[in-house]
Structures are given as structure tokens and as C-alpha cells.
Chains A and B, each alone.
Chain A
Amino acid sequence: MSYAYLFKYIIIGDTGVGKSCLLLQFTDKRFQPVHDLTIGVEFGARMITIDGKQIKLQIWDTAGQEAFRSITRSYYRGAAGALLVYDITRRETFNHLTTWLEDARQHSNSNMVIMLIGNKSDLDSRREVRREEGEAFAREHGLVFMETSAKTAANVEEAFINTAKEIYEKIQEGVFDINNEANGIKIGPQHSPTSPGGLAGNGGQGGAQGGGCC
């Protein structure tokens, strides 16, 4: 399926916070948790629509590669958006946010949109990090914040889509150099780089048409 833009995301955060589960929940809703089984995956793509435009989100999970410095640094650079995830039932995952953020800021391009996610909001009884703390951290570091549950799917859509909206806005503002694919943004095949957004058809199949340019 063709798209107007492709945004590459990465998901970062301590192990076990639910990155892979969030990813699968977003890209493949059919995998519902049954028998207390939340399943995950480390790559996924999904099409969304923003402003009438088809936008493909490609999400790359970095898990398991922390051992290799070369890998983490290049991952950061290739992404337009990042979900920084912690687990609201484990304070240490919240405490490590600063380190993650430093890493992200150091390696990523400065326009990368970072969204802070407090995951496992379904486990409110075991909560160790208050919502306000997440909010405060996000405010202090200029991030967007949201609490999600990969299990109940609460806010999962919103988390990914809001991030995309923010990236989209930055593109409209001309902040991103969209001709540079290293930024994690790709223009759809039928798009001419000089007129971003200009060719997208309207409604349903949006990006798919527009080829028959005048």
C-alpha cells in the first residue's frame, strides 16, 4: 500500500516494560491477551491517516542489542519518533529514564519526537510511579506523556498516533529535512519531494491515488 509519508519509530526503555507488547498491540490488534498472555514483537508497521493522508508507521524495537554500542547509536539516528517506555509498577524503570533520554538526545537527530509512556496502567494496584511524576518528568524534558496498557490497549493507539501527529506537524513547519531519509522520514513513492503533501488524494485510499498528475 502506498503512503504519503513513512515514519520510522523506535521503542526504548528498560527490559520488561512492555515495549514489544505495545508494538504488537498497535500494529496487530488481533493478538489479544488471553490467559494472562501478552505477546510481543520487535518490528511492525501500520498505516494510519492524519489530515487525510496515509502515513505508514514503521516501528523498530531495539531490545536485546544494548550490548552493542554500534547498534544503539545507529538506531537512534534513523528514527523520527521514539517511544520512551517505563513500567508504572517498577520504579527503577522510571529512574532510568534520564539515562535513556540522554542517550537518545545524544545520538538522535535533534528533531526526533520523543513520547514518554508509562505502561501497564491496568496494574493500578501495583503502581509505584504516580501519574503526576510521569507528567512532571515529561514537562521538565519537553516530552509528550501518556499512560498506556498493552494489555487492555488503553491509549496505545493514541500514543503512536499522537507521536505521528507531532512529527507531521514538524514536517508542515519545515523543521524536518524530509529529503534526508536518515532522519527516519520517507516520502511516499508517488510523492515529489518538492511538494510534500501536495499530491495526496483525499479520503479513503488517499495516498494510493494521485498518480495521474495533471
Chain B
Amino acid sequence: MFRSRSWFGGGLWKPKNPHSLEHLKYLYNVLSKNHTVSENNRGLLVETLRSIAEILIWGDQNDSSVFDFFLEKNMLSFFLRIMKQKCGSYVCVQLLQTLNILFENIRNETSLYYLLSNNHVNSIIVHKFDFSDEEVMAYYISFLKTLSLKLNAHTIHFFYNEVNEHTNDFPLYTEAIKFFKHSEGMVRIAVRTLTLNVYRVEDASMLGFIRDRTAAPYFSNLVWFIGNHIIELDTCVRNDADHQSQNRLSDLVAEHLDHLHYLNDILCLDIPDLNKVLTEHLLHKLLVPLYVYSLMKQKNVLCQNQDEKKHVSVVVALFLLSQVFLILSHGPLVRTLAAIILKSDLDIIRDGASKVLEEYAEISSNKAIAFAPPKESLEKSLENLSESQADLKESCEGQSQNDELPVNTLTKKQRERGMNEPGTSFDTTILDAPPENLSNPDQLEITIPNETVEEMKHLNVTDEEKEQRLALESPLAPQQLPNDPIQESLTNKPFLQTILNSLYCNENDYTALFGLCLLYALASNKSVNAEMLDLVLSPSQQVPTKNWYNETLVDRLIHIITLSCQTNAKVRLVTLELTIKLLTRLVMSEGRSLLHDTHLASIEAAKEQSTALLRNFYKSEDIFLDMFEDEYSEIQKRPLNVEWLMMDSNILLPPTGTPMTGIEFSKRLPCGEVERARRAIRVFFLIRRLSLTLNMEVETQLPLTNPATCIEVNNVLDLSKSYLLSSCLTGFIWGAKERRATRIYDGKYNSDLIACTVVWKDGQKIRRFLVIDVLQLILVEPDTKKLGWGVAKLVGFLQDIEVAGDKDDSRCLHLTIHKPLSSSASNRVPLLSAKFIFDDHIRCMAAKQRLTKGRIKARQKKMSQIARLLDIPTSMPHCSTPPNYAFMSMRPERATGRGHKKDQPRPMFTVNKVPGFAAQLRQDGVVRSSSGSTTPNGRRSDGSPNGRARENGLRSRDNSPKMPRPRSEEIPMEDMRLRKASLAANGSGLPSIVCSDRKDSTVSGTSSNGELALAIKKRSEETSFTSPQVQDLKPRRKGQVETV
């Protein structure tokens, strides 16, 4: 690896062992003889420096004499000397990398001290490299970062030089921060890392230097940099109504978040002096003038000159402030900011912007409030740093006085000083003059837009609902109790006003979402104290106002909820969820709801309305169940995370309905019928949950499948209690003593047990028992140790299965168990896709029948659960009703198969009460053999005349000549399916759910016939089929369907 370079070495003796003192001495000689870098020797020099680094690292752990020699010969000076020779980026880069390697791999503190002594490293740091070369820049900044990782209470003294007051400097830090806004992101990150590594070294003297000499210039430049970013972001939002620059916007938002996290990381180091300076800069130069003032509708109150006006749109301001309160936690900063937002009234603001901060700041200062460029660039400030001592005194003065004096005595003095300060900004001076065109504060009064009230009156609802709606209106009506001090005071607080007014969703919920976010962020910020929020946001803890809540705010929240229950509502799901989250926070106190009856009634009305809305979809969507469960699990699994929401730049663009933007479903309006159904489902869930919470009730009906009653993999089951559908259990000697049709599991109905061999795609074969329970299909392995018991090896939901016969082998079934859509597995690989071989054809058919039936029944059960949730009458035993149901009992398998089930609710089929409602019963025929994926072919055949197969299937399946013809108002299933397919074609959201019908006629035909056969036989004895029938069924081929 170390190739001989003896022709360069000039007759030097080169030792064999590359890791030895001798070798280092040899290398020293090489360096000594090559003082000047030239084309010819630069390769050798670079190689030599590398070898030196390698020996040093070796010496660090093996031989201390190496370092002694290194120090004695002052070898680091060679590095410096080479660097200074303008030898081009290649050599510089190699040098820097060698230093990196050296510093990173040295472990002994003493070795490190050796390297750092003599101040050579500082000389290298201040060396003016060619930073326009991106490679040099990258290696240089990495070098500085590496050094910063070596900082501690001891090593700091090698970098920070405090010996002499005049020369006191800290090049590692001051050189690095010059690159704080470098165009290359990784460089900026390295600078931030370095600064944080510096700050966390607990060295008072060094921190004093940072605060006194560098904090003001660095922070003011940083704040200006951030502010300009914001303006760019705002421009981006303004100019992008059509979602064209999503990428750029997302970068800008992410960048802003980076800034906030960086500021927070600094503040969290909890260095009082530093935090004070930083907080002051942030408040005076960024957060108040740029963010908060942008909330002011009358911007001219704050500044007259349109050209100089620096502000962002209300949407952006609300968004950014939400981020601030979600991320920053430094008490003095967030409390001050919260106070300004929530408490400032027009008088204070009119008095002059600087008063705002004086009024509320925990830290006072003489800084003007303005978003204005720093007086000079950071480089300039830092250059001056070392030159003028006088400057230092001046800049420290204000600081030290502040330290000594209590805040309140300072206020007046500061005010004077603030005013006298020569024109640092346009804002202060202008603001102190009373603005002429300040509009009448009355205009700010909270009013409800009339349209909304009207709109609500004319909703097409039942009388009862109307009544509730009226109850809802009254609190919304503009007339407030005149002597309510809180309401009154709201009118005079422009910032708060803007936030509250943003909650109206007149045209859409664009600003409302941000208003909600900000309120939520304020309420959840741990450092904003309760008293501050008391009268605005939280249930009050103080005695006189205990149990009080902000009615105005709650009115508006409820209004959003009400709006979202309407057809074609312009409220996005995310807005609704956040509204509910905030509302719950406002009115729930100690687990109890403080909501007044009128408000509560409005919520209940909204719940009714959302239920009514969903009922419309219940009757029209075949895939309703899958969607219903999917949405439920979605809502459970991904509760709204406001912090994440605020990272999504997409919400900054006006709400859209098109999925083409790639915007998440909950963050846009629904597109197409399927999405409208999904939305209605979610609205229903959200409001239902809110209602339950407010009423202090627990959910008992959702999810539809109670996981607690489900069998899980590895559960041990008592199989002796299952119905054995196998006469020959050779090979499985486990107590199948009697064929008792009892229970497999507590609280469960009996299940059938069928022996089979499962053949996986990869050829793996396993003998199992197939258990078909009420909702589940279970593959059981008998427990070898415990007779009559078995272990569940695989569990799937019957509703998700797809069964198909095998055209070549009548003992085989192809079974696919799809993962529930709600399982969110990233890959849509089925839970199981395997061939099942049964002992004979009869058992195979029995299994098929049970599976198919199980699927239907499982689905029916759930559909009726949903019906109950939606107050749709069902055929529950207790309801004495319609003649439609009569025919149910005709179905032989129902009547006979499990005769003992008298106590069980009869199969619940959804009623065809609603016009246009498709009878579930007839859906059976379709559903039984459908599910899973779809092919265009499959769909086409459904609608085509070839659908004859299904007709046959349908007719034969039930073997029921008495089966009524569809009543006129029922939409024939085929039509439904067609319709669904067309929906699927234009509704994009749900391809995998929508198209869940693959069918080929063979399957349908076979299955139907098989079932017929079974059904007939079942009356007597399930396991005693006779062979002729079996043969009858065998020779079926694709496309050939016989009518029975």
C-alpha cells in the first residue's frame, strides 16, 4: 500500500515497518527536503502527510514516543506551510482530510493536546482557503465541525484565547458562523452543529465572549436571514394558486422548521445570557414585527409606507406562528409572544409598536421592533470585532444594565432610549405618531355572516333536527350579552380578532385550519401558562370564572362542525378533526364536559346530520363495509398530529378537491362519489366520538369486530368442542371423540372443523384443520401434548376470503385471504394464498360452502351492525316486521345447518325499506364468490349477457323456488355492480376496494351447484354425501355452466 517513492526520497533510507517511530522520522526528512510544493512533488507530499496521520493514529494507541517526536519537530507547521503556498485545491483538500482523519481517530486526550498546542490549528482555521471551490468548502467545514466535536472544558482553551483582552478571539467559532447562510445546505447544517457544540461547552469566559462579542451580530443576521426566507415563502404561496410549485414551497417550509428547531435547540441548552439575547432578537426583529403584525387587518396602523411594508399574508402568519408555538418551548419567549397575541389591544398598538413588547416582555430591551436588515453583515461585524475595543463597551452597556435592574423600572427609561435611538428602522418612528386612517374599532366586531345563518335555516332536515338547529343558532346569533366583559374585550384585540375571524368557513376552510392550529398550538405549549390562556382558551381554573369557557370561540368551533355535516361541505376532514380536538380541550375539564345544553344540543344535531348524510351512502355503495372498516381503522391508527400537520406545506395552498395534487385525502375535499362516501364515514366517526366524549360515554359498537373476541395466532383452542367434519382423522389422533356441535371458544358459536392439507405457493405442504368460526377462519395444528386441543397457526377474517375451485382436482380449493385494507401493511400481499387439498370431493365442497357462506354471513352481520349505528331498521328478531324477511327462513341451510341456534339472532339482512336499496339477500349470490382483485375482464363479464352464469348460480344456490323476484324499488344487483364499476373508474382513491369482484363463471356455477348439493344433504347429515353427486359435480370446466 505504501508504494516506494525512493526516487523522490533522495537516497533516504525507508524503514520496512510503516507504523514505527523510524518511519515517522523518515517522513519528517521527506518533508524537510520538500519545502516548496511543485507539480513534481505534490503527490509525494500528500502521501507523506497521510502516512504521518496514519502513524500518529497508530502511535496514539501504541507508542507515545511518536507524539513526542511529532511535537518536538513541530510537524504540524509543515501542514500550514504547504497550505500557504497556494498549491491548489487538490493539495488543500488532501491536507484538510488528513487533519480530519487525524482528529477523528485520536483517542488519547494527551495526544489531542499535543496536536492542538502551538496554535497551529487556529492558524489553519483562519487560513483563507479558496471557499469558492465547493470541495474545499466541504472539507473545511467538516474539519471545523470535527474539531467542535472535540470541545470540552479542557480543550476549549486551545481554541478560545482569553489571555489578552485585546486579542481575545475564538476563530473556530467566528470563522464558522461566517458561513451560516452559505448556499450549500450541508454547510449551513455543519455551522449549526458547530455552534451548538460550542454553546454546550460550559465555560463561562467563552460564553461571555460569545454573548458580548458575537451574539448580537450573529443573531441579528440569523433573524434577518430567517425573515427573508419567510417573505420568500409568502411570495411562493401568493403566486401559486394552482399548486405548481409544491416542491419549492415544501423546501421553504422545511427550512423554516429547521430554523425553528435550531433556535429551539439553542434555547434548550438553557444558557441564560445567550437565551436572553436570542429571545430579544427574535421578538423584536422577527416574531412580533413580521409574524404577529401580519395578523393585523389594518396594516397601515403599523406602517404607512406601502413600499416599506414588510408583512406576510394572514394564512402564512397563522401557519408560522403555529409552528413557533408547537416547536419553541423557551418560557420567556413563548409567554411574551402569547401575551402579545392574546392581550394586545388597539390602544397599545396605536401607542406605538415598541410599547407592545414593553407591556408584556419578561425581558425588556431597548431594541426597536422592526423587521429590518442588520446594520452590517456578519463578516463585517466579526472583522470589526478584533479591532475596536470601544465597540465592545458600547454593545455591552445595555446588556449589563439590564442585568442589574429589575425589569419594571427599566421600562420608561428604555422607552425613551428606544425612541431616541437613531433611525434604525422605519417602523418605530412612524408608529409613534397617531395613525390617521385607523378604522373604527367597531368594524372589528364579531359578526356572524348572515348567509350562514340563513343557510342553516334552510337545511333540508327533519322537524326534530330543525329544532336542534334552532337551538344551535341562538348562540351563534350576533347579539351577545352586552355586559359580558370578555366578549366585549375581544372586539378590541386585533390579533386575537383575526384569529377568531379566521374560523369562519364562508367560502372554504383555508384560513380556519390555521386559526385552529394556532389556537391549538397556544393551548398545548407547556410554557404558556394557564392564566394567560384562561380567558381565551382553556377552561378556567380560577374561582370566579371556574367552569367558564369561551363561548364565542366554542360557537365558532361548533359552527365548523355543523358545516362539515352538510352535503358538499367545504370543510376538510383535517379541519373537522382539529376543531373537535380543540373543542374537547376547551370544554372538557377533569373528565367532565362544561358544555351548556344549547351547545350540546348543537353537537347532537350535528351528529344526527352526519348520520343522515352517511345513510345516503349506505344504500348505494356495495363496497361500503370495506370502506367503513377501513376508514375506522384509519382514524384510530392515525389520529391527527398537529405538529406533523404543520410540517405539510401542502396545506398552505388553497384547499383543492383534486387528488392529482398528491395531497392526502383528509387534507383536501373529496373528489367523486367514492370519496364523498369515505368522507361521510369519517365525519360520522369523528362526530360520534365527540358526542360520546362529551356525554362521558364509552364506545361500545365500534370497531365492528371486537378484537377481544377474536382468535389470534398461537391461541390454544379446545377442538373437542368443535364440530368435526372429518370422518377419517388418521394421522391426527386427537380427541375428536364425539361430533358435538358446541362451542370452540367461549362466547363463540360452534365452528366446523375440516381436515386438509395446505399447499403453499412454494410447494410447502402442511396438514391442518380448517376451522370456520363466525367471523374468522382458523388453521389449527393439533396440540401433540394435549389431546383434543390445537393451536391456531393462521387466522384470517372470513369477510376477506376468496375461494375458488380447482378445475383439475375436485378435492382442491384455492383460498386467498386478503389482508383487511385497514391493516395498512405497505405491501398488499395476501395474508394467505394457498391450495387446500381435502380428503375427498365432498369435504372439499363442504368446506367451500362453509367458507363462502361464512364470508357472506360475516359481512351481513357487520352490515347490520352498521345499520344499527345509522339507525336504519334491520331485521333483528325483536322488530316485528316486513314480509320481505319471511323468505329468509326458506333458505334450507339456515333452517337446518345449525339447528340449535335458536337463541341467536336470526340472520340479519338489511331491509329494503329505503327506496332504491339493494337487498342484501341477493347480494349473497354475488358476494360469495367475489372479492379480491379485479380484472377488467371480470368486471365486463359481470355486466354482460354471460352473467347468465350468475343467474344460474343465484337461482340454484338457494334452491328456493319461492324466492321472491326483486321488488320494483330494488335495484338489481347487477346494476349496482355496474354502477360501482363506473364509480371505480372515476373515483381514484380506492382502487383496491372498489374493484373487489373477480368472478369467473366456473366458480360461481360450481359453487352454486356444490352448495345446492350440500344444502340438500345437509338436512340429514353433513358428512355423508354419496358419491354419485360427487361425480355429477366433477367434470365442470370453465365456461360450462349447467343449470340444476
Number of residues in B with C-beta < 8 Å to the partner? 40
Residue in contact with A41 in the complex, picked from B19, B101, B262, CB distance below 8 Å = B101
Report the minimum CB–CB distance from B58 to chain A (whole Å): 6
Contacts A58-B138, A69-B265, A180-B247 hold; do A41 and B193 have CB atoms under 8 A apart? Answer: no
- B-contacting 9-mer, from A28-36, A120-128, A156-164: A28-36
- Is B185 within 8 A of A68, CB to CB? no
Report the minimum CB–CB distance from B1024 to chain A (whole Å): 47
B-side contacts of A37, CB under 8 Å = 57-58, 61
- Is A35 within 8 A of B189, CB to CB? no
Residue in contact with A73 in the complex, picked from B57, B135, B149, B261, CB distance below 8 Å = B261
- A-contacting 9-mer, from B251-259, B360-368, B474-482: B251-259
- Is B135 within 8 A of A45, CB to CB? yes
- Is B258 within 8 A of A44, CB to CB? no
- Is B104 within 8 A of A31, CB to CB? no
The majority secondary structure among interface residues of chain B is helix
Residue in contact with B186 in the complex, picked from A24, A31, A39, A60, CB distance below 8 Å = A60
CA gap between A134 and B254 in the complex, in Å = 32
Q: In this assembly, does B650 line the interface, its C-beta being within 8 Å of a C-beta of chain A? A: no
Contacts A34-B58, A42-B100 hold; do A181 and B139 have CB atoms under 8 A apart? Answer: no
- Is B100 within 8 A of A71, CB to CB? no
Please, which residue of chain B has its CB at the minimum distance from the CB of A34?
B19
Q: In this assembly, does A177 line the interface, its C-beta being within 8 Å of a C-beta of chain B? A: yes
Q: Which of B101, B247, B257 counts the most chain A CB atoms within 10 A?
A: B101
- Is A70 within 8 A of B19, CB to CB? no
Q: In this assembly, does B54 line the interface, its C-beta being within 8 Å of a C-beta of chain A? A: yes
- Is A78 within 8 A of B186, CB to CB? yes
Q: In this assembly, does B313 line the interface, its C-beta being within 8 Å of a C-beta of chain A? A: no
CA gap between A67 and B192 in the complex, in Å = 13
Q: Which of B57, B61, B142, B193 counts the most chain A CB atoms within 10 A?
A: B193
Q: Which of A24, A43, A77, A177 counts the most chain B CB atoms within 10 A?
A: A43
B-side contacts of A31, CB under 8 Å = 50, 54, 101
Contacts A34-B18, A180-B251 hold; do A42 and B104 have CB atoms under 8 A apart? Answer: yes
Q: In this assembly, does B196 line the interface, its C-beta being within 8 Å of a C-beta of chain A? A: yes
Residue in contact with A43 in the complex, picked from B50, B142, B192, B257, CB distance below 8 Å = B142
Q: Which of A24, A41, A60 counts the most chain B CB atoms within 10 A?
A: A41
B-side contacts of A142, CB under 8 Å = 826
Report the minimum CB–CB distance from B399 to chain A (whole Å): 26
From 86 to 108 in chain B, residues with beta carbon under 8 angstroms from any chain A beta carbon are 97, 100-101, 104-105
- Is B138 within 8 A of A43, CB to CB? yes
Please, which residue of chain A has its CB at the minimum distance from the CB of B264?
A70
Contacts A71-B189, A71-B196 hold; do A44 and B97 have CB atoms under 8 A apart? Answer: yes
Residue in contact with A77 in the complex, picked from B149, B193, B196, B254, CB distance below 8 Å = B254
Contacts A58-B138, A60-B186 hold; do A68 and B54 have CB atoms under 8 A apart? Answer: no
Interface digits, B137-159 against A, CB 8 Å rule (1 contact, 0 not)? 01100100110010000000000
A-side contacts of B765, CB under 8 Å = none
- Is B261 within 8 A of A30, CB to CB? no
- Is A75 within 8 A of B105, CB to CB? no
Report the minimum CB–CB distance from A31 to chain B (whole Å): 7
Please, which residue of chain B has its CB at the minimum distance from the CB of A142?
B826
Report the minimum CB–CB distance from A112 to chain B (whole Å): 13
CA gap between A71 and B257 in the complex, in Å = 11
- Is B265 within 8 A of A35, CB to CB? no
- Is B100 within 8 A of A41, CB to CB? yes
Q: In this assembly, does A20 line the interface, its C-beta being within 8 Å of a C-beta of chain B? A: yes
A-side contacts of B408, CB under 8 Å = none
B-side contacts of A177, CB under 8 Å = 247
Please, which residue of chain A has its CB at the minimum distance from the CB of B188?
A74
- Is A73 within 8 A of B19, CB to CB? no
A-side contacts of B262, CB under 8 Å = 70-71
Residue in contact with B149 in the complex, picked from A34, A40, A64, A140, CB distance below 8 Å = A64
Q: In this assembly, does B828 line the interface, its C-beta being within 8 Å of a C-beta of chain A? A: no
Number of residues in A with C-beta < 8 Å to the partner? 38
B-side contacts of A71, CB under 8 Å = 189, 192-193, 196, 262, 265
Please, which residue of chain A has its CB at the minimum distance from the CB of B258?
A74
- Is A70 within 8 A of B261, CB to CB? yes
CA gap between A8 and B135 in the complex, in Å = 12
- Is A182 within 8 A of B251, CB to CB? yes
B-side contacts of A77, CB under 8 Å = 185, 254, 258
Please, which residue of chain B has its CB at the minimum distance from the CB of A20?
B104
CA gap between A32 and B51 in the complex, in Å = 11
- Is B189 within 8 A of A24, CB to CB? no
Please, which residue of chain B has its CB at the minimum distance from the CB of A181?
B185
Report the minimum CB–CB distance from B268 to chain A (whole Å): 9
- Is B1 within 8 A of A28, CB to CB? no
Report the minimum CB–CB distance from A121 to chain B (whole Å): 21
Q: In this assembly, does A194 line the interface, its C-beta being within 8 Å of a C-beta of chain B? A: no
Q: In this assembly, does B74 line the interface, its C-beta being within 8 Å of a C-beta of chain A? A: no
Q: In this assembly, does A65 line the interface, its C-beta being within 8 Å of a C-beta of chain B? A: yes
Q: In this assembly, does B38 line the interface, its C-beta being within 8 Å of a C-beta of chain A? A: no
CA gap between A75 and B261 in the complex, in Å = 13
Contacts A24-B101, A69-B265, A70-B265 hold; do A30 and B189 have CB atoms under 8 A apart? Answer: no
- Is A42 within 8 A of B142, CB to CB? yes
Report the minimum CB–CB distance from A81 to chain B (whole Å): 13
Please, which residue of chain A has its CB at the minimum distance from the CB of B90?
A1
B-side contacts of A45, CB under 8 Å = 135, 138-139
Report the minimum CB–CB distance from A191 to chain B (whole Å): 14
CA gap between A128 and B112 in the complex, in Å = 35
CA gap between A58 and B367 in the complex, in Å = 43
- Is B138 within 8 A of A42, CB to CB? no
- Is B247 within 8 A of A73, CB to CB? no
Report the minimum CB–CB distance from B1008 to chain A (whole Å): 40
5 contacts between A and B (CB under 8 A): A34-B58, A39-B104, A58-B186, A71-B196, A77-B258
Q: Which 7 A-B pairs have the closest CB atoms?
A: A70-B261, A43-B142, A70-B262, A78-B185, A74-B258, A39-B105, A182-B251
Q: A34-B18, A45-B135, A140-B827 are in contact. List 4 more A-B contacts (CB 8 A).
A: A37-B61, A43-B100, A58-B138, A64-B149
What residues of chain B have their CB less than 8 Å away from a CB belonging to chain A?
1, 18-19, 50, 54, 57-58, 61-62, 97, 100-101, 104-105, 135, 138-139, 142, 145-146, 149, 185-186, 188-189, 192-193, 196, 247-248, 251, 254, 257-258, 261-262, 264-265, 826-827
